[in-house]
Amino acid sequence: MPPDSSPRLQYNAVICRYNEIATKGRNRVQFETLLVAGIRRVLSELGRIRVLRERGRIFLLPPRGRLFFSPEDGDVLRTRMPNVMGLASASPGFLVPPELAPIEAVITQTFPEVCRMVSQRIAEPQSIRYRMRARRDNKSFPLTSTQLEVYFAELLLPQFPRLRVDLQAADLSVQIEVRKQRAFVSYEHIAGPGGLPSGVSGHVLALLSGGIDSPVACYQLLKRGCTLDFVTFHSSPYTPPELIAKVARLVRLLNRFQDGGRLVVVNL
Protein backbone atom coordinates (compact mmCIF):
# COMPACT_ATOMS: atom_id res chain seq x y z
CA MET A 1 0.00 0.00 0.00
CA PRO A 2 1.54 3.36 -0.97
CA PRO A 3 2.62 5.51 2.01
CA ASP A 4 0.29 8.37 1.09
CA SER A 5 -2.71 6.04 1.31
CA SER A 6 -1.62 4.11 4.40
CA PRO A 7 -4.30 3.95 7.10
CA ARG A 8 -3.79 6.37 9.99
CA LEU A 9 -4.30 3.78 12.68
CA GLN A 10 -2.81 3.32 16.12
CA TYR A 11 -1.16 -0.07 15.89
CA ASN A 12 -0.14 -1.93 19.02
CA ALA A 13 2.59 -4.08 17.43
CA VAL A 14 4.76 -4.73 14.40
CA ILE A 15 5.48 -8.21 13.09
CA CYS A 16 8.94 -8.74 11.53
CA ARG A 17 9.62 -11.68 9.23
CA TYR A 18 12.91 -13.15 8.07
CA ASN A 19 13.79 -15.78 5.48
CA GLU A 20 17.44 -16.77 5.39
CA ILE A 21 17.89 -16.60 9.16
CA ALA A 22 15.33 -19.40 9.45
CA THR A 23 17.84 -21.80 7.84
CA LYS A 24 20.30 -21.35 10.70
CA GLY A 25 20.66 -23.89 13.48
CA ARG A 26 22.05 -23.47 16.97
CA ASN A 27 23.44 -20.03 16.17
CA ARG A 28 20.08 -18.63 15.06
CA VAL A 29 19.86 -16.61 18.28
CA GLN A 30 23.01 -14.71 17.26
CA PHE A 31 21.45 -13.78 13.93
CA GLU A 32 18.17 -12.74 15.56
CA THR A 33 20.03 -10.62 18.12
CA LEU A 34 21.84 -8.71 15.38
CA LEU A 35 18.59 -8.30 13.44
CA VAL A 36 16.94 -6.80 16.52
CA ALA A 37 19.95 -4.50 16.96
CA GLY A 38 19.53 -3.31 13.36
CA ILE A 39 15.83 -2.67 13.92
CA ARG A 40 16.53 -0.71 17.11
CA ARG A 41 19.14 1.36 15.26
CA VAL A 42 16.80 2.54 12.51
CA LEU A 43 13.89 3.05 14.94
CA SER A 44 15.89 4.77 17.68
CA GLU A 45 13.74 7.92 17.51
CA LEU A 46 10.72 5.88 18.61
CA GLY A 47 12.32 5.17 21.99
CA ARG A 48 13.19 1.85 23.59
CA ILE A 49 10.83 -0.46 21.74
CA ARG A 50 10.05 -3.80 23.36
CA VAL A 51 10.75 -7.06 21.56
CA LEU A 52 9.04 -10.46 21.63
CA ARG A 53 10.73 -13.34 19.81
CA GLU A 54 9.01 -16.42 18.50
CA ARG A 55 10.28 -18.99 16.07
CA GLY A 56 10.31 -17.35 12.64
CA ARG A 57 8.88 -14.06 13.90
CA ILE A 58 9.92 -11.00 15.88
CA PHE A 59 7.23 -8.75 17.37
CA LEU A 60 7.90 -5.10 18.17
CA LEU A 61 5.85 -3.43 20.90
CA PRO A 62 5.68 0.27 21.89
CA PRO A 63 8.04 1.49 24.63
CA ARG A 64 6.96 0.87 28.21
CA GLY A 65 4.18 3.21 29.29
CA ARG A 66 2.64 3.30 25.81
CA LEU A 67 -0.09 1.06 24.44
CA PHE A 68 0.13 2.03 20.77
CA PHE A 69 2.39 3.27 18.01
CA SER A 70 1.11 6.64 16.81
CA PRO A 71 0.31 7.33 13.13
CA GLU A 72 3.54 9.36 13.03
CA ASP A 73 5.42 6.32 14.35
CA GLY A 74 3.86 4.39 11.48
CA ASP A 75 5.39 6.85 9.00
CA VAL A 76 8.81 6.23 10.56
CA LEU A 77 8.30 2.47 10.31
CA ARG A 78 7.40 2.65 6.62
CA THR A 79 10.44 4.81 5.86
CA ARG A 80 13.09 3.08 7.99
CA MET A 81 12.26 -0.63 8.07
CA PRO A 82 13.29 -1.19 4.41
CA ASN A 83 16.84 -0.31 5.52
CA VAL A 84 17.22 -3.26 7.94
CA MET A 85 19.45 -5.95 6.46
CA GLY A 86 18.19 -9.44 7.27
CA LEU A 87 14.55 -8.33 7.35
CA ALA A 88 12.31 -9.97 4.75
CA SER A 89 9.24 -7.89 5.56
CA ALA A 90 7.38 -6.13 8.35
CA SER A 91 3.75 -5.27 9.00
CA PRO A 92 2.36 -2.86 11.59
CA GLY A 93 -0.86 -4.25 12.99
CA PHE A 94 -2.77 -5.54 15.98
CA LEU A 95 -1.69 -8.19 18.45
CA VAL A 96 -4.69 -9.93 20.05
CA PRO A 97 -5.40 -13.19 21.90
CA PRO A 98 -5.51 -16.24 19.60
CA GLU A 99 -9.31 -16.48 19.58
CA LEU A 100 -11.90 -15.72 16.92
CA ALA A 101 -13.81 -13.08 18.91
CA PRO A 102 -10.91 -10.62 19.43
CA ILE A 103 -9.72 -11.13 15.85
CA GLU A 104 -13.20 -10.30 14.57
CA ALA A 105 -13.46 -7.32 16.93
CA VAL A 106 -10.26 -5.67 15.71
CA ILE A 107 -11.16 -6.22 12.04
CA THR A 108 -14.67 -4.86 12.58
CA GLN A 109 -13.25 -1.75 14.25
CA THR A 110 -10.43 -0.99 11.81
CA PHE A 111 -11.49 -2.28 8.40
CA PRO A 112 -13.87 0.63 7.61
CA GLU A 113 -11.04 3.18 7.98
CA VAL A 114 -8.68 1.09 5.87
CA CYS A 115 -11.32 0.69 3.17
CA ARG A 116 -12.01 4.44 3.24
CA MET A 117 -8.31 5.25 2.75
CA VAL A 118 -7.99 2.84 -0.16
CA SER A 119 -11.17 4.11 -1.79
CA GLN A 120 -9.74 7.64 -1.90
CA ARG A 121 -7.28 6.61 -4.60
CA ILE A 122 -9.67 4.40 -6.58
CA ALA A 123 -12.35 6.36 -8.41
CA GLU A 124 -15.89 5.07 -8.45
CA PRO A 125 -17.42 2.97 -9.92
CA GLN A 126 -14.19 0.98 -10.10
CA SER A 127 -14.13 -1.94 -7.66
CA ILE A 128 -11.67 -2.26 -4.80
CA ARG A 129 -9.75 -5.49 -5.25
CA TYR A 130 -9.73 -7.33 -1.93
CA ARG A 131 -7.74 -10.26 -0.58
CA MET A 132 -7.79 -12.08 2.74
CA ARG A 133 -4.82 -14.23 3.72
CA ALA A 134 -4.84 -16.34 6.88
CA ARG A 135 -2.09 -18.47 8.34
CA ARG A 136 -2.83 -20.79 11.23
CA ASP A 137 0.21 -22.17 13.03
CA ASN A 138 -1.94 -22.92 16.09
CA LYS A 139 -3.62 -26.19 15.12
CA SER A 140 -5.94 -26.04 18.15
CA PHE A 141 -7.66 -22.98 16.66
CA PRO A 142 -11.18 -24.10 15.62
CA LEU A 143 -11.02 -22.81 12.03
CA THR A 144 -8.53 -23.75 9.34
CA SER A 145 -6.72 -21.05 7.36
CA THR A 146 -9.17 -21.40 4.46
CA GLN A 147 -12.18 -21.34 6.77
CA LEU A 148 -10.88 -18.13 8.36
CA GLU A 149 -10.56 -16.49 4.95
CA VAL A 150 -14.10 -17.53 3.99
CA TYR A 151 -15.51 -16.46 7.35
CA PHE A 152 -14.25 -12.90 7.05
CA ALA A 153 -15.07 -12.65 3.35
CA GLU A 154 -18.68 -13.50 4.20
CA LEU A 155 -18.57 -10.90 6.98
CA LEU A 156 -17.03 -8.02 5.00
CA LEU A 157 -18.19 -8.36 1.40
CA PRO A 158 -21.91 -7.69 2.10
CA GLN A 159 -21.02 -4.57 4.14
CA PHE A 160 -18.70 -3.05 1.52
CA PRO A 161 -20.27 -3.48 -1.93
CA ARG A 162 -17.26 -2.02 -3.79
CA LEU A 163 -15.07 -4.93 -2.73
CA ARG A 164 -14.22 -7.56 -5.33
CA VAL A 165 -12.10 -10.59 -4.48
CA ASP A 166 -8.76 -10.63 -6.30
CA LEU A 167 -6.11 -12.90 -4.81
CA GLN A 168 -3.36 -11.89 -7.26
CA ALA A 169 -3.41 -8.07 -7.43
CA ALA A 170 -5.30 -6.75 -4.42
CA ASP A 171 -5.69 -3.06 -3.57
CA LEU A 172 -6.62 -4.00 0.00
CA SER A 173 -5.12 -7.01 1.69
CA VAL A 174 -5.97 -8.35 5.14
CA GLN A 175 -3.49 -10.71 6.79
CA ILE A 176 -4.28 -12.85 9.81
CA GLU A 177 -1.67 -14.96 11.54
CA VAL A 178 -2.79 -17.24 14.36
CA ARG A 179 0.05 -18.50 16.51
CA LYS A 180 0.00 -20.53 19.71
CA GLN A 181 0.12 -17.62 22.17
CA ARG A 182 -1.19 -14.71 20.09
CA ALA A 183 -2.84 -13.69 16.84
CA PHE A 184 -1.89 -10.81 14.57
CA VAL A 185 -4.00 -8.77 12.14
CA SER A 186 -2.42 -6.42 9.59
CA TYR A 187 -3.24 -4.49 6.43
CA GLU A 188 0.22 -3.39 5.35
CA HIS A 189 3.33 -5.12 4.02
CA ILE A 190 6.68 -3.32 4.23
CA ALA A 191 9.29 -5.12 2.13
CA GLY A 192 12.79 -5.44 3.55
CA PRO A 193 16.06 -6.14 1.72
CA GLY A 194 16.38 -9.70 3.05
CA GLY A 195 19.82 -11.25 3.35
CA LEU A 196 21.68 -11.43 6.66
CA PRO A 197 21.76 -8.92 9.53
CA SER A 198 24.46 -6.28 9.57
CA GLY A 199 27.48 -7.37 11.60
CA VAL A 200 27.08 -11.13 11.31
CA SER A 201 29.94 -11.39 8.78
CA GLY A 202 33.36 -9.73 8.63
CA HIS A 203 34.39 -6.08 8.44
CA VAL A 204 35.38 -5.08 4.91
CA LEU A 205 37.24 -2.15 3.35
CA ALA A 206 35.46 -1.56 0.04
CA LEU A 207 36.82 0.37 -2.93
CA LEU A 208 34.19 2.87 -4.01
CA SER A 209 34.28 4.84 -7.25
CA GLY A 210 31.80 7.08 -8.97
CA GLY A 211 30.54 4.30 -11.24
CA ILE A 212 27.67 1.86 -10.80
CA ASP A 213 29.57 -1.40 -10.24
CA SER A 214 31.27 -0.58 -6.93
CA PRO A 215 28.18 0.71 -5.04
CA VAL A 216 26.20 -2.32 -6.22
CA ALA A 217 28.99 -4.60 -4.99
CA CYS A 218 29.01 -2.73 -1.66
CA TYR A 219 25.25 -3.21 -1.33
CA GLN A 220 25.61 -6.94 -1.96
CA LEU A 221 28.31 -7.14 0.73
CA LEU A 222 26.00 -5.35 3.16
CA LYS A 223 23.27 -7.81 2.27
CA ARG A 224 25.56 -10.69 3.25
CA GLY A 225 25.98 -9.24 6.73
CA CYS A 226 29.30 -7.43 6.26
CA THR A 227 30.03 -4.03 7.76
CA LEU A 228 31.92 -1.67 5.48
CA ASP A 229 34.36 1.17 5.51
CA PHE A 230 35.03 2.79 2.15
CA VAL A 231 38.12 3.97 0.31
CA THR A 232 38.36 6.06 -2.85
CA PHE A 233 41.31 7.56 -4.71
CA HIS A 234 41.79 10.91 -6.38
CA SER A 235 44.59 12.86 -8.06
CA SER A 236 44.06 16.47 -7.13
CA PRO A 237 43.96 18.84 -8.98
CA TYR A 238 43.20 16.52 -11.91
CA THR A 239 40.25 14.80 -10.22
CA PRO A 240 37.27 17.17 -10.08
CA PRO A 241 35.90 17.78 -6.56
CA GLU A 242 32.44 16.84 -7.83
CA LEU A 243 33.62 13.22 -8.08
CA ILE A 244 34.56 13.12 -4.38
CA ALA A 245 31.22 14.71 -3.51
CA LYS A 246 29.45 12.01 -5.53
CA VAL A 247 31.31 9.25 -3.69
CA ALA A 248 30.40 10.88 -0.37
CA ARG A 249 26.72 10.85 -1.37
CA LEU A 250 26.99 7.15 -2.23
CA VAL A 251 28.49 6.48 1.20
CA ARG A 252 25.57 8.26 2.88
CA LEU A 253 23.13 6.12 0.91
CA LEU A 254 24.94 2.87 1.76
CA ASN A 255 25.23 3.84 5.42
CA ARG A 256 21.46 3.70 5.70
CA PHE A 257 21.92 -0.06 5.86
CA GLN A 258 24.64 -0.11 8.53
CA ASP A 259 25.93 1.83 11.51
CA GLY A 260 28.15 4.57 10.10
CA GLY A 261 30.87 3.28 7.78
CA ARG A 262 33.77 5.70 7.22
CA LEU A 263 35.05 7.07 3.92
CA VAL A 264 38.83 7.32 3.43
CA VAL A 265 39.96 9.54 0.53
CA VAL A 266 43.50 8.79 -0.69
CA ASN A 267 45.41 11.30 -2.83
CA LEU A 268 47.66 9.60 -5.39
Q: Are residues 187 and 208 located together in one domain of the fold?
A: no
Tens of pLDDT along 93-151?
999 999 999 999 999 999 999 999 998 888 878 899 999 999 999 999 999 999 999 99
Does some domain include residue 69? Answer: yes
Nearby residues of 184 by Cβ (< 8 Å), 6 or more positions away? 13, 15, 59, 91, 93, 94, 95, 96, 175, 176, 177
The secondary structure of residue 23, as a DSSP letter, is: G
Write down the pLDDT at residue 246: 93
Q: Are residues 115 and 64 located together in one domain of the fold?
A: yes
pLDDT of residue 230 exceeding 90, the answer is: yes
Phi, psi of 230 (to 5 degrees): -125, 145
pLDDT of residue 5 exceeding 60, the answer is: no
Tens of pLDDT along 16-59?
999 889 888 889 999 999 999 999 999 999 999 999 998 889 99
Q: Are residues 184 and 218 located together in one domain of the fold?
A: no
pLDDT of residue 72 exceeding 80, the answer is: yes
Q: How many domains does the chain have?
A: 2
181: domain CATH number is 3.30.2130.30
Write down the pLDDT at residue 203: 96
d(CA 266, CA 210): 14
- Among residues 140, 169, 191, which one ends one of the domains? 191
Write down the pLDDT at residue 239: 80
